[in-house]
Amino acid sequence: MGQKWKLYEVKGGKVRRKNKFCPRCGPGVFMAEHKDRWSCGRCGYTEWKRK
């Protein structure tokens, strides 16, 4: 996996995570943001976005 620097942002001297963590896998496993859903590449957990 490359380009992990895209998952973080430094703002006001603090580091902020851009994507959410997977509730099943726990901290350290990011979920991918798609147009209509959030999904975990490790366990397959999916959260659908509301309109």
Look at residue 4 and tell me whether its pLDDT is greater than 60.
Answer: yes
- DSSP sequence for 19-39: SPEETTTEEEEEEEE-SSEEE
For residue 35, the one-letter residue type is K
- pLDDT tens digits, one per residue of 20-45: 999 999 998 989 999 999 999 999 99
Tell me which residue of 31, 27, 25, 39 sits closest to 7, measured CA to CA.
31
pLDDT reported for residue 1: 53
Buried b (16+ CB within 10 A) or exposed e, 25-47: eeeeebbeeeeeebbbeeeeeee
Look at residue 3 and tell me whether its pLDDT is greater than 90.
Answer: no
pLDDT reported for residue 6: 81
Residues placed in the known binding site for Zn(2+): 22, 25, 40, 43
Tell me which residue of 11, 43, 51 sits closest to 31, measured CA to CA.
43
pLDDT reported for residue 37: 96
Residues placed in the known binding site: 22, 25, 40, 43
pTM of the model: 0.68
**Domain locations in the chain as residue ranges:** 20-50
